Protein backbone atom coordinates (compact mmCIF):
# COMPACT_ATOMS: atom_id res chain seq x y z
CA UNK A 1 0.00 0.00 0.00
CA UNK A 2 2.78 2.40 0.83
CA UNK A 3 5.04 1.37 -2.09
CA UNK A 4 6.82 4.47 -3.36
CA UNK A 5 5.55 5.75 -6.72
CA UNK A 6 7.77 8.80 -7.09
CA UNK A 7 10.37 10.93 -5.34
CA UNK A 8 10.74 14.54 -6.49
CA UNK A 9 13.53 16.82 -5.36
CA UNK A 10 13.85 20.56 -5.69
CA UNK A 11 15.70 23.53 -4.21
CA UNK A 12 13.75 25.80 -1.85
CA UNK A 13 14.83 28.64 0.43
CA UNK A 14 15.84 28.21 4.05
CA UNK A 15 15.48 30.87 6.75
CA UNK A 16 18.91 32.34 6.01
CA UNK A 17 17.94 32.74 2.36
CA UNK A 18 20.14 29.88 1.25
CA UNK A 19 18.90 27.13 -1.05
CA UNK A 20 18.19 23.77 0.57
CA UNK A 21 16.81 20.41 -0.57
CA UNK A 22 13.07 19.66 -0.43
CA UNK A 23 11.70 16.19 -1.20
CA UNK A 24 8.21 15.01 -2.16
CA UNK A 25 7.41 11.32 -1.77
CA UNK A 26 4.27 9.88 -3.35
CA UNK A 27 3.06 6.33 -2.75
CA UNK A 28 1.16 4.12 -5.21
CA UNK A 29 -1.97 4.46 -3.11
CA UNK A 30 -1.76 8.25 -3.14
CA UNK A 31 -0.01 8.92 0.17
CA UNK A 32 2.04 12.09 0.09
CA UNK A 33 4.88 13.48 2.20
CA UNK A 34 7.01 16.60 1.83
CA UNK A 35 10.06 17.57 3.90
CA UNK A 36 13.06 19.87 3.64
CA UNK A 37 16.58 19.64 5.01
CA UNK A 38 17.73 22.19 7.58
CA UNK A 39 21.30 23.47 7.69
CA UNK A 40 23.73 24.33 10.49
CA UNK A 41 26.21 27.21 10.88
CA UNK A 42 28.11 25.91 13.90
CA UNK A 43 28.34 22.43 12.45
CA UNK A 44 30.24 19.67 14.21
CA UNK A 45 33.33 18.28 12.52
CA UNK A 46 31.92 14.75 12.61
CA UNK A 47 28.51 15.45 11.06
CA UNK A 48 27.29 13.72 7.91
CA UNK A 49 28.17 15.73 4.83
CA UNK A 50 25.86 18.35 3.38
CA UNK A 51 26.52 18.82 -0.35
CA UNK A 52 25.66 21.95 -2.34
CA UNK A 53 21.91 21.44 -2.96
CA UNK A 54 22.16 21.21 -6.77
CA UNK A 55 24.80 18.50 -6.46
CA UNK A 56 22.94 16.67 -3.68
CA UNK A 57 19.78 16.62 -5.79
CA UNK A 58 21.57 15.40 -8.92
CA UNK A 59 23.33 12.63 -6.98
CA UNK A 60 20.17 11.55 -5.18
CA UNK A 61 18.25 11.45 -8.48
CA UNK A 62 20.95 9.29 -9.97
CA UNK A 63 21.58 6.90 -7.06
CA UNK A 64 18.75 6.99 -4.52
CA UNK A 65 15.53 7.59 -6.44
CA UNK A 66 15.86 4.48 -8.68
CA UNK A 67 16.35 2.30 -5.59
CA UNK A 68 13.26 3.68 -3.87
CA UNK A 69 10.69 3.96 -6.64
CA UNK A 70 8.60 0.85 -7.24
CA UNK A 71 10.31 -1.27 -4.63
CA UNK A 72 10.51 0.33 -1.18
CA UNK A 73 7.50 1.01 1.05
CA UNK A 74 7.32 4.50 2.57
CA UNK A 75 5.61 2.99 5.64
CA UNK A 76 8.70 0.94 6.39
CA UNK A 77 11.16 3.57 7.53
CA UNK A 78 14.01 1.11 8.07
CA UNK A 79 13.76 -0.04 4.43
CA UNK A 80 13.65 3.55 3.14
CA UNK A 81 16.71 4.50 5.15
CA UNK A 82 18.58 1.29 4.26
CA UNK A 83 17.99 2.11 0.58
CA UNK A 84 19.39 5.60 1.14
CA UNK A 85 22.50 4.15 2.77
CA UNK A 86 22.90 1.59 -0.02
CA UNK A 87 22.51 4.30 -2.67
CA UNK A 88 25.14 6.43 -0.95
CA UNK A 89 27.65 3.73 -0.07
CA UNK A 90 29.76 5.92 2.27
CA UNK A 91 29.88 6.33 6.05
CA UNK A 92 28.87 9.97 6.02
CA UNK A 93 26.47 10.46 3.08
CA UNK A 94 29.19 12.26 1.16
CA UNK A 95 28.01 10.72 -2.13
CA UNK A 96 24.34 11.78 -2.23
CA UNK A 97 24.51 14.40 0.56
CA UNK A 98 22.98 14.18 4.02
CA UNK A 99 20.69 17.03 2.94
CA UNK A 100 19.11 14.92 0.18
CA UNK A 101 19.06 11.85 2.43
CA UNK A 102 17.32 13.52 5.36
CA UNK A 103 14.78 15.29 3.16
CA UNK A 104 13.82 11.99 1.50
CA UNK A 105 13.85 10.08 4.81
CA UNK A 106 11.52 12.59 6.48
CA UNK A 107 9.26 12.96 3.42
CA UNK A 108 8.88 9.17 3.23
CA UNK A 109 7.86 9.04 6.90
CA UNK A 110 5.14 11.58 6.20
CA UNK A 111 3.95 9.68 3.12
CA UNK A 112 3.79 6.49 5.20
CA UNK A 113 1.81 8.24 7.92
CA UNK A 114 -0.49 9.73 5.29
CA UNK A 115 -1.39 6.32 3.84
CA UNK A 116 -1.97 4.92 7.31
CA UNK A 117 -4.09 7.92 8.25
CA UNK A 118 -2.03 8.36 11.41
CA UNK A 119 -0.46 11.54 12.73
CA UNK A 120 3.29 11.49 12.14
CA UNK A 121 4.20 11.34 15.85
CA UNK A 122 1.97 8.28 16.20
CA UNK A 123 3.42 6.60 13.10
CA UNK A 124 6.98 7.24 14.33
CA UNK A 125 6.29 6.54 18.00
CA UNK A 126 4.22 3.42 17.42
CA UNK A 127 0.72 2.49 18.37
CA UNK A 128 1.71 1.57 21.92
CA UNK A 129 2.97 5.07 22.64
CA UNK A 130 1.43 6.10 25.94
CA UNK A 131 -0.73 9.18 25.41
CA UNK A 132 -0.23 10.11 29.08
CA UNK A 133 3.48 10.50 28.67
CA UNK A 134 4.90 13.89 29.39
CA UNK A 135 5.67 16.22 26.51
CA UNK A 136 9.03 17.74 25.61
CA UNK A 137 9.79 21.07 27.25
CA UNK A 138 10.67 23.66 24.58
CA UNK A 139 14.05 25.34 25.02
CA UNK A 140 13.70 28.87 23.64
CA UNK A 141 16.73 30.74 22.33
CA UNK A 142 16.30 34.30 23.66
CA UNK A 143 19.83 35.77 23.51
CA UNK A 144 22.63 34.57 21.30
CA UNK A 145 25.74 35.17 19.30
CA UNK A 146 28.60 32.87 18.37
CA UNK A 147 28.27 31.68 14.78
CA UNK A 148 24.64 32.85 14.66
CA UNK A 149 25.24 36.61 14.94
CA UNK A 150 28.22 38.92 14.49
CA UNK A 151 29.49 41.11 17.37
CA UNK A 152 27.24 39.55 20.00
CA UNK A 153 27.84 37.09 22.88
CA UNK A 154 30.59 34.48 22.71
CA UNK A 155 28.28 31.84 24.16
CA UNK A 156 26.09 30.86 21.22
CA UNK A 157 22.66 30.47 22.87
CA UNK A 158 20.94 31.49 26.10
CA UNK A 159 17.88 29.25 26.28
CA UNK A 160 14.74 29.84 28.31
CA UNK A 161 13.65 26.55 29.92
CA UNK A 162 10.11 26.66 31.35
CA UNK A 163 10.54 23.43 33.32
CA UNK A 164 7.54 24.04 35.57
CA UNK A 165 5.02 24.73 32.79
CA UNK A 166 1.81 22.74 33.21
CA UNK A 167 1.38 22.25 29.45
CA UNK A 168 3.27 22.48 26.18
CA UNK A 169 1.25 25.50 25.12
CA UNK A 170 2.00 27.40 28.33
CA UNK A 171 5.69 26.55 27.95
CA UNK A 172 5.72 27.83 24.36
CA UNK A 173 3.99 31.08 25.35
CA UNK A 174 6.29 31.52 28.36
CA UNK A 175 9.37 31.36 26.12
CA UNK A 176 7.87 34.03 23.86
CA UNK A 177 7.25 36.16 26.96
CA UNK A 178 10.87 35.73 28.04
CA UNK A 179 11.96 36.80 24.55
CA UNK A 180 9.79 39.92 24.93
CA UNK A 181 11.05 40.53 28.48
CA UNK A 182 14.64 40.42 27.21
CA UNK A 183 13.69 43.17 24.75
CA UNK A 184 12.30 45.22 27.67
CA UNK A 185 15.45 44.75 29.75
CA UNK A 186 17.63 45.68 26.77
CA UNK A 187 15.50 48.76 26.20
CA UNK A 188 15.73 49.81 29.86
CA UNK A 189 19.51 49.49 29.66
CA UNK A 190 19.68 51.37 26.33
CA UNK A 191 21.27 48.40 24.61
CA UNK A 192 20.32 48.12 20.93
CA UNK A 193 19.99 44.61 19.52
CA UNK A 194 19.26 42.97 16.21
CA UNK A 195 18.28 39.31 16.00
CA UNK A 196 20.51 36.37 15.14
CA UNK A 197 19.85 33.49 12.78
CA UNK A 198 17.41 31.78 15.14
CA UNK A 199 15.51 34.92 16.14
CA UNK A 200 17.29 35.38 19.47
CA UNK A 201 18.34 38.90 20.50
CA UNK A 202 21.97 39.48 19.58
CA UNK A 203 23.17 42.46 21.64
CA UNK A 204 26.81 43.55 21.65
CA UNK A 205 27.26 42.75 25.34
CA UNK A 206 29.77 40.53 27.07
CA UNK A 207 28.62 37.15 28.28
CA UNK A 208 28.38 38.21 31.94
CA UNK A 209 25.91 40.97 31.07
CA UNK A 210 23.92 38.52 28.93
CA UNK A 211 23.59 36.24 31.98
CA UNK A 212 22.33 39.17 33.99
CA UNK A 213 19.80 40.16 31.32
CA UNK A 214 18.45 36.63 30.81
CA UNK A 215 18.27 35.97 34.57
CA UNK A 216 16.25 39.15 35.03
CA UNK A 217 13.93 38.39 32.09
CA UNK A 218 13.22 34.82 33.20
CA UNK A 219 12.55 35.98 36.78
CA UNK A 220 10.06 38.59 35.59
CA UNK A 221 8.15 36.07 33.47
CA UNK A 222 8.36 33.41 36.17
CA UNK A 223 6.62 35.81 38.56
CA UNK A 224 3.97 36.66 35.98
CA UNK A 225 3.12 33.10 34.94
CA UNK A 226 3.53 31.45 38.35
CA UNK A 227 5.59 28.43 37.33
CA UNK A 228 9.31 27.73 37.31
CA UNK A 229 11.37 29.04 34.40
CA UNK A 230 15.05 28.23 34.42
CA UNK A 231 17.50 28.84 31.65
CA UNK A 232 20.30 26.98 29.93
CA UNK A 233 23.06 27.42 27.39
CA UNK A 234 24.47 26.14 24.15
CA UNK A 235 28.09 27.16 24.60
CA UNK A 236 29.08 25.68 21.20
CA UNK A 237 32.57 25.52 22.69
CA UNK A 238 34.18 23.97 19.61
CA UNK A 239 33.77 27.38 17.98
CA UNK A 240 35.69 29.00 20.88
CA UNK A 241 38.43 26.37 21.01
CA UNK A 242 41.83 27.40 19.64
CA UNK A 243 43.53 24.03 19.17
CA UNK A 244 46.95 25.51 18.39
CA UNK A 245 47.05 27.55 21.57
CA UNK A 246 45.14 24.96 23.64
CA UNK A 247 42.71 27.55 25.03
CA UNK A 248 39.09 28.63 24.68
CA UNK A 249 38.96 32.19 23.36
CA UNK A 250 36.25 34.59 24.53
CA UNK A 251 37.36 37.63 22.56
CA UNK A 252 40.48 38.84 24.38
CA UNK A 253 39.93 36.52 27.32
CA UNK A 254 41.07 32.94 27.26
CA UNK A 255 40.51 29.86 29.41
CA UNK A 256 42.51 26.65 29.59
CA UNK A 257 40.47 23.41 29.41
CA UNK A 258 40.63 23.08 33.22
CA UNK A 259 39.49 26.67 33.64
CA UNK A 260 36.68 26.04 31.16
CA UNK A 261 35.40 23.10 33.24
CA UNK A 262 35.58 25.26 36.41
CA UNK A 263 33.80 28.13 34.64
CA UNK A 264 30.98 25.89 33.43
CA UNK A 265 30.55 24.32 36.87
CA UNK A 266 30.43 27.80 38.44
CA UNK A 267 27.79 28.96 35.94
CA UNK A 268 25.61 25.92 36.70
CA UNK A 269 25.91 26.75 40.40
CA UNK A 270 25.42 30.50 40.13
CA UNK A 271 22.46 30.49 37.74
CA UNK A 272 20.97 27.09 38.58
CA UNK A 273 21.20 26.24 34.89
CA UNK A 274 18.80 23.57 33.66
CA UNK A 275 20.84 22.68 30.60
CA UNK A 276 24.39 23.09 29.24
CA UNK A 277 25.08 22.01 25.66
CA UNK A 278 28.60 21.60 24.27
CA UNK A 279 30.43 23.18 27.22
CA UNK A 280 33.72 21.81 25.83
CA UNK A 281 35.32 21.10 22.48
CA UNK A 282 33.92 18.23 20.38
CA UNK A 283 37.06 16.11 20.95
CA UNK A 284 37.27 16.61 24.72
CA UNK A 285 35.49 13.53 26.08
CA UNK A 286 37.56 13.80 29.28
CA UNK A 287 36.52 17.37 29.98
CA UNK A 288 32.86 16.48 29.34
CA UNK A 289 33.20 13.53 31.74
CA UNK A 290 34.75 15.68 34.46
CA UNK A 291 32.02 18.31 34.18
CA UNK A 292 29.27 15.67 34.11
CA UNK A 293 30.79 14.11 37.22
CA UNK A 294 30.77 17.48 38.97
CA UNK A 295 27.36 18.88 38.06
CA UNK A 296 25.50 16.13 36.15
CA UNK A 297 23.30 15.44 39.18
CA UNK A 298 21.71 18.91 38.92
CA UNK A 299 21.75 19.82 35.24
CA UNK A 300 21.75 18.27 31.80
CA UNK A 301 25.17 18.20 30.13
CA UNK A 302 24.29 17.70 26.48
CA UNK A 303 26.49 16.58 23.59
CA UNK A 304 25.72 18.17 20.23
CA UNK A 305 28.98 18.57 18.28
CA UNK A 306 30.37 15.90 20.63
CA UNK A 307 27.93 13.18 19.54
CA UNK A 308 26.51 14.48 16.22
CA UNK A 309 23.55 12.06 16.62
CA UNK A 310 26.01 9.25 15.90
CA UNK A 311 25.73 5.96 17.83
CA UNK A 312 29.47 5.28 17.66
CA UNK A 313 30.39 8.61 19.19
CA UNK A 314 27.54 8.23 21.67
CA UNK A 315 28.73 4.72 22.68
CA UNK A 316 32.13 6.13 23.52
CA UNK A 317 30.48 8.94 25.48
CA UNK A 318 28.39 6.44 27.45
CA UNK A 319 31.47 4.34 28.25
CA UNK A 320 33.36 7.41 29.45
CA UNK A 321 30.45 9.11 31.27
CA UNK A 322 30.90 12.12 29.01
CA UNK A 323 27.38 13.58 29.21
CA UNK A 324 23.92 12.83 30.52
CA UNK A 325 22.02 13.89 27.40
CA UNK A 326 22.34 13.97 23.63
CA UNK A 327 21.14 16.48 21.07
CA UNK A 328 19.28 14.82 18.20
CA UNK A 329 19.48 16.51 14.80
CA UNK A 330 18.39 14.17 11.99
CA UNK A 331 20.45 16.00 9.38
CA UNK A 332 23.65 15.42 11.38
CA UNK A 333 23.33 11.71 10.66
CA UNK A 334 21.17 11.66 7.51
CA UNK A 335 18.12 9.50 8.27
CA UNK A 336 15.33 9.15 10.79
CA UNK A 337 16.33 5.52 11.48
CA UNK A 338 19.82 6.61 12.51
CA UNK A 339 18.36 9.37 14.66
CA UNK A 340 16.02 6.87 16.32
CA UNK A 341 18.94 4.51 16.98
CA UNK A 342 20.79 7.31 18.75
CA UNK A 343 17.74 8.15 20.89
CA UNK A 344 17.20 4.51 21.74
CA UNK A 345 20.83 3.92 22.75
CA UNK A 346 20.82 7.10 24.83
CA UNK A 347 17.58 6.35 26.66
CA UNK A 348 18.52 2.72 27.28
CA UNK A 349 21.60 4.04 29.08
CA UNK A 350 19.77 6.65 31.12
CA UNK A 351 20.61 9.69 28.99
CA UNK A 352 17.97 12.25 28.04
CA UNK A 353 17.25 13.02 24.39
CA UNK A 354 16.86 16.63 23.23
CA UNK A 355 15.51 16.99 19.69
CA UNK A 356 16.77 20.09 17.88
CA UNK A 357 16.33 22.40 14.92
CA UNK A 358 19.27 23.90 13.01
CA UNK A 359 20.09 27.58 12.69
CA UNK A 360 19.06 27.41 9.01
CA UNK A 361 15.50 26.09 8.98
CA UNK A 362 12.36 25.80 6.87
CA UNK A 363 8.67 25.52 7.72
CA UNK A 364 9.14 21.74 8.08
CA UNK A 365 7.65 20.43 11.34
CA UNK A 366 9.06 16.88 11.42
CA UNK A 367 11.15 17.49 14.54
CA UNK A 368 8.07 18.37 16.60
CA UNK A 369 6.68 14.90 15.81
CA UNK A 370 10.07 13.29 16.36
CA UNK A 371 10.38 14.85 19.82
CA UNK A 372 6.97 13.55 20.87
CA UNK A 373 7.46 10.14 19.23
CA UNK A 374 10.76 9.58 21.05
CA UNK A 375 9.60 10.93 24.41
CA UNK A 376 12.40 13.51 24.32
CA UNK A 377 12.81 15.56 27.52
CA UNK A 378 13.35 18.79 25.61
CA UNK A 379 12.92 20.19 22.12
CA UNK A 380 15.18 23.05 21.07
CA UNK A 381 13.48 24.91 18.28
CA UNK A 382 13.69 28.64 18.88
CA UNK A 383 11.12 31.08 20.17
CA UNK A 384 9.97 33.45 17.44
CA UNK A 385 10.16 33.61 13.63
CA UNK A 386 7.98 31.64 11.22
CA UNK A 387 10.35 28.71 10.72
CA UNK A 388 10.58 28.34 14.54
CA UNK A 389 6.92 28.90 15.37
CA UNK A 390 5.97 26.34 12.68
CA UNK A 391 7.43 23.66 14.98
CA UNK A 392 6.16 25.18 18.22
CA UNK A 393 2.63 25.56 16.91
CA UNK A 394 2.73 21.99 15.61
CA UNK A 395 3.78 20.87 19.08
CA UNK A 396 0.75 22.61 20.55
CA UNK A 397 -1.51 20.84 18.01
CA UNK A 398 0.12 17.47 18.71
CA UNK A 399 -0.40 17.89 22.46
CA UNK A 400 -4.07 18.61 21.83
CA UNK A 401 -4.44 15.62 19.51
CA UNK A 402 -2.52 13.19 21.70
CA UNK A 403 -4.63 13.46 24.87
C1 LIG B 1 21.22 24.67 16.47
C2 LIG B 1 22.54 24.82 16.52
O3 LIG B 1 23.21 25.58 15.62
P4 LIG B 1 23.62 25.08 14.15
O5 LIG B 1 22.38 24.59 13.50
O6 LIG B 1 24.18 26.32 13.54
O7 LIG B 1 24.62 23.98 14.34
C8 LIG B 1 23.33 24.21 17.59
O9 LIG B 1 24.56 24.36 17.60
O10 LIG B 1 22.78 23.52 18.44
MG1 LIG C 1 24.64 23.14 19.60
277 is in an annotated binding site: yes
The ipTM is 0.99
- Catalytic choice (22, 198, 282, 290): 198
Average pLDDT value for residue range 13-24: 98
Task: Map out the domains of the chain as residue ranges.
Answer: 4-117, 137-402
Q: Determine the topology of domain 137-402 in CATH.
A: TIM Barrel (3.20.20)
Residue 147 Cα: closest atom of ligand 1: 6
Cβ–ligand 1 distance for 27 under 6 Å, the answer no
From the CB of 331, is ligand 1 less than 6 Å away? no
| Per-residue pLDDT at 160 | 98
3-state secondary structure the chain: CCEEEEEEEEEEECCCCCEEEEEEEEECCCCEEEEECCECCCCCCCCCCCCCHHHHHHHHHHHCHHHHCCCCECCCHHHHHHHHHHHHCCCCCCCCCHHHHHHHHHHHHHHHHHHHCCCHHHHHHCCCCCCCCCCCEEEEEEEECHHHCCCCCCCCEEEEECCCCCCHHHHHHHHHHHHHHHHHHHHHCCCCEEECCCCCEEECCCHHHHHHHHHHHHHHHHHHHCCCCEEEEECCHHHCEECCCCEEEECCEEECHHHHHHHHHHHHHHHCCCEEECCCCCCCHHHHHHHHHHHCCCCEEEECCCCCCCHHHHHHHHHHCCCCEEEECHHHHCCHHHHHHHHHHHHHCCCEEEEECCCECCCCCHHHHHHHHCCCCEEECCCCCHHHHHHHHHHHHHHHHHC
Residue 148 among known ligand-binding residues: yes
CA of 112 to the centre of ligand 2 (A): 30
* pLDDT tens-digit readout, 282-341: 999 999 999 999 999 999 999 999 999 999 999 999 999 999 999 999 999 999 999 999
Quote the pLDDT of residue 21.
98
Tell whether ligand 1 has an atom less than 6 A from the beta carbon of residue 43: yes
User: Is 359 labelled as part of a ligand binding site?
Assistant: yes
pLDDT of residue 187: 98
Distance from Cα 83 to the centre of ligand 2, integer Å:
29
Q: What is the pLDDT of residue 26?
A: 98
For the stretch 45-104, pLDDT in tens is 999 999 999 999 999 999 999 999 999 999 999 999 999 999 999 999 999 999 999 999
Q: Is 329 a catalytic residue?
A: yes
- Asked whether 324 lines ligand 1 (CB < 6 A), one says no
* Candidate of 358, 360, 388 to mutate for ligand 1, largest count of ligand atoms within 8 Å of Cβ: 358
Classify domain 4-117 by CATH number.
3.30.390.10
Considering every ligand atom, which ligand is closest to the CA of 303?
2
359 CB within 6 A, ligand 1? yes
Is 59 catalytic? The answer is: no
In this structure, which residues have their CB less than 5 angstroms from ion ligand 2? 234, 304
Amino acid sequence: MTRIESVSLRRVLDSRGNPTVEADVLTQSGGFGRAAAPSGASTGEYEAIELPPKEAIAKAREHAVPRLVGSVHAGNQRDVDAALHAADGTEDFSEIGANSAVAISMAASKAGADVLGAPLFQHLGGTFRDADRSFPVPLGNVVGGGEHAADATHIQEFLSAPVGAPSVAEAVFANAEVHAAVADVLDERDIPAAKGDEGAWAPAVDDSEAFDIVAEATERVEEAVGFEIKFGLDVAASELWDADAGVYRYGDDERTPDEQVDYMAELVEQYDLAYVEDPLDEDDYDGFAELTDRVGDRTLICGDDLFVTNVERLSRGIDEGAANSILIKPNQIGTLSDAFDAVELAQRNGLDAVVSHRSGETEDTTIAHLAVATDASFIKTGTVGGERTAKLNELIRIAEEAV
